[in-house]
Structure 1
Amino acid sequence: MDEALDAVQLEGISLPIAAGLLVMMYPVLAKIRYDRLDAVTSDRRLLVPSLALNWMVGPALMFALAWLLLPELPEHRTGLIIVGLARCIAMVIIWNDLACGDREAAAVLVALNSVFQVVAFGVLGWFYLDVLPGRLGLDQTSLDVSAWDIARSVLVFLGVPLVAGYLTRRLGERARGRVWYEERFLPRIGPAALYGLLFTIVILFALQGEAITSRPWDVARIALPLLAYFAVIWSASYTLVRLAGLGYERTATLAFTAAGNNFELAIAVAIATFGVTSGQALAGVVGPLIEVPVLVALIYVSLALRRRAASSVAEHAHARTW
């Protein structure tokens, strides 16, 4: 089965994974009120921390954890650094929605990350795998990836569902009105997002299950820095933005945007550069298999913090009445 699924590719992109992500992202992107995006693009308290966390803190943190926890495993270490460079443009949409984050803010941040991904991925790969290790006296690795490969990933995994969601809202509201669209149509397509998520996870296991089960110790070593990365980057992002005075919805959006990674791009780059059986590719595959349960757990943490904040506000309001 894994060979059959692996054969269903177009220009190096797994069609089953692309289909799963499309089904997963489309309902969420169809929920976005695109006429409200200007309220997000003008909020510097959201945009500036997001760019800093995604393109400065995130890659640097993964680089440090990879070298600290995998000093004698150069292939796995390089794979993790590549994962850290690939910022999330797909699954963060569903994490944000499940955590009741700001959909419009998520759309803007994902689009912003997509632009930076095309421009910065290759440059950061050169810096973190060649320049910085050389300056620190560490082993150096080269990364050969074209801007077109990255742009193609962005177009497939974000562009297609984004255009579909935008056109659905525009045409649906024009034909039947916003009330019908949001109260009748969206509830019907909403469950498809979870079906797409489950399908994508199953496909990932089917494609790489043998490599994972045959190398359990390597998987455990790779999982350790990943667990540390997701916990640290999410917690730091949530705390930073909360202290900046943003409400829960945008705080959750920024935290999940900073914590997620574009696993499809990381896997594709690792396989194209180092080979399908390489340690770099294995690290890329282990990434989403660790990310999914960890971020699901963080969704519950986020919702608990939301309830706690709401309860605190209610208590203050009750105290004032007395």
Structure 2
Amino acid sequence: MVAPELPVHPQEDTAMGAPGTDAAAPDTAGPPKLSTLDRFLPVWIGLAMTAGLLLGRWVPGLQGALDAVKAGGISVPIAIGLLVMMYPVLAKVRYDRLDSVTRDTRLLVSSLVLNWLVGPAVMFALAWIFLADLPEFRTGLIIVGLARCIAMVIIWNDLACGDREAAAVLVALNSVFQVLAFGLLGWFYLELLPGWLGLDQSGIDVSPWEIAAMVVVFLGVPLVAGYLTRIFGERAKGRAWYEDRFLPRIGPLALYGLLFTIVMLFALQGEAITSGPVDVARIAVPLLIYFVAMWGLSMLLGRAIRLSYERSTTLAFTASGNNFELAIAVAVGVFGVTSGQALAGVVGPLIEVPVLVGLVYVSLWARRFFPARSTAGA
């Protein structure tokens, strides 16, 4: 599935390093198209789930084999898959462009509020509304809500003709902020807030320190690795080589890591999944509502504060997309690979990918309702 060829507003630069267009140049460029790997991501995820279920049935001793090599309570093969999944997307981020968005205070403040106040609160409410009787799935869904956008959001933003540089910078900010705030927010939404509201917390025992440790390992380590890779790669070979040749080579590793993790999760959870398909469907419903609601609210906010279409779209996709890679890593690290929390994390990308691709088309249709340029300082 690809976006229709509509004109794109010229950008100062692009997230992937293509030369920017002059401000006076005509709007003749069209949006990029999804690669074959990205276009069929829901298919690959579905095949990985099926392969995992079959593997779990044919290799009953798989869990014992994975548990034979552990580090910090996590199976080493699964930990490697999670790190491989995170590294390429963080190597793509342009860490030297933060000031290009921080000058636009309307966009920056709106993004921070939507990502770190509204988004987690909305997912918390949906998790308790739809999964009050399923504490493991509920907790997994809340963790998905805390894992803010990175990586794939740049693809959706590009397809919808959003501001590529702004998207890259907001992704960088979210990546850094998650290392600092994820553990604290996990404690707030999983322990403190339910206690204040008098909600039933039976069956869930989670330490904020465990969550923080998993974020440091599975986000902090690849974040530092990605940053150093870009710094030394560009110094040695230049930005054009790094973004045109190096990044395309390592990019597919993120998908391979994700698919490997999904295969392992479904291999180890096959019985729970096949015996309770309705429970899995119940996870999908609040996720669907969340993605659509966050996108719609963000677009309306962008229009209300008179951001351009390009920056409103960037705001919407960075607020509605989630870092499901991190959510899966945290759930596996804290609760275990066979936990309901981990399963909830895996359902995330299965719902997010087709929904956000669909919202690309809605964004392009809504373009007519926005002013041509942002009135915020950019």
Residue type matched to 1:303 in 2? Answer: V
Residue type matched to 1:200 in 2? Answer: T
Q: Which runs of 5+ in 2 are unaligned?
A: 1-61, 159-163, 373-378
Q: Do the aligned partners of residues 77 and 228 (structure 1) sit closer, same or farther apart at CA in structure 2, a change above 3 Å counting? A: farther
* CA distances 1:57-78 after superposition (whole Å, capped 9, x unpaired): 334333433443345x2xx146
Residue type matched to 2:240 in 1? Answer: V
Task: Give SS of 2:247's match.
Answer: helix
Counterpart residue number, 2:153: 96
**Structure 1 CA distance, aligned partners of 2:260 and 2:220?**
20
TM-score, length of structure 1 as denominator length: 0.76
**Contact 2:131 2:137 survives alignment (8 Å):** no
**Structure 1 CA distance, aligned partners of 2:221 and 2:270?**
28
Task: Give SS of 1:93's match.
Answer: coil
Q: CA RMSD in A?
A: 3.3
Of 35, 50, 69, the match for 2:96: 35
**Contact 1:25 1:161 survives alignment (8 Å):** yes
**Structure 1 CA distance, aligned partners of 2:146 and 2:186?**
12
Please identify which structure carries the higher helix content: 1
| Matching of residue 265 in structure 1 with residue 330 in structure 2 | yes
Q: Do the aligned partners of residues 54 and 249 (structure 1) sit closer, same or farther apart at CA in structure 2, a change above 3 Å counting? A: closer
The count of residues paired between Structure 1 and Structure 2 equals 297
**Contact 2:87 2:223 survives alignment (8 Å):** yes
The sequence identity of aligned pairs, in percent, is 47
TM-score, length of structure 2 as denominator length: 0.66
**Contact 1:26 1:161 survives alignment (8 Å):** yes
Note the C-alpha offset of 1:300.
1.3
**Structure 2 CA distance, aligned partners of 1:70 and 1:250?**
28
Counterpart residue number, 2:214: 153
**Structure 1 CA distance, aligned partners of 2:363 and 2:290?**
23
Counterpart residue number, 1:80: 138
Larger mean CA deviation between 176-185 and 77-86 belongs to 77-86
Q: Do the aligned partners of residues 143 and 232 (structure 1) sit closer, same or farther apart at CA in structure 2, a change above 3 Å counting? A: same
Note the C-alpha offset of 1:6.
4.8
Q: Do the aligned partners of residues 65 and 254 (structure 1) sit closer, same or farther apart at CA in structure 2, a change above 3 Å counting? A: closer
**Structure 1 CA distance, aligned partners of 2:103 and 2:79?**
32
Note the C-alpha offset of 1:212.
1.1
**Structure 1 CA distance, aligned partners of 2:289 and 2:207?**
30
Residue type matched to 1:295 in 2? Answer: E
**Structure 2 CA distance, aligned partners of 1:309 and 1:16?**
45
**Contact 1:46 1:250 survives alignment (8 Å):** yes
Of 275, 285, 296, the match for 2:353: 296
Counterpart residue number, 1:319: none
Residue type matched to 1:213 in 2? Answer: T
Residue type matched to 1:153 in 2? Answer: M
Q: Do the aligned partners of residues 88 and 3 (structure 1) sit closer, same or farther apart at CA in structure 2, a change above 3 Å counting? A: farther
Note the C-alpha offset of 1:154.
1.3
**Structure 2 CA distance, aligned partners of 1:261 and 1:85?**
9
**Structure 1 CA distance, aligned partners of 2:265 and 2:303?**
34
Of 84, 87, 103, the match for 1:26: 87
Q: Do the aligned partners of residues 265 and 298 (structure 1) sit closer, same or farther apart at CA in structure 2, a change above 3 Å counting? A: same
Residue type matched to 1:265 in 2? Answer: V
Residue type matched to 2:224 in 1? Answer: V
**Structure 1 CA distance, aligned partners of 2:317 and 2:358?**
10
Q: Do the aligned partners of residues 140 and 22 (structure 1) sit closer, same or farther apart at CA in structure 2, a change above 3 Å counting? A: closer
**Contact 1:2 1:208 survives alignment (8 Å):** no
Q: Which runs of 5+ in 1 are unaligned?
A: 317-322
Counterpart residue number, 2:245: 184
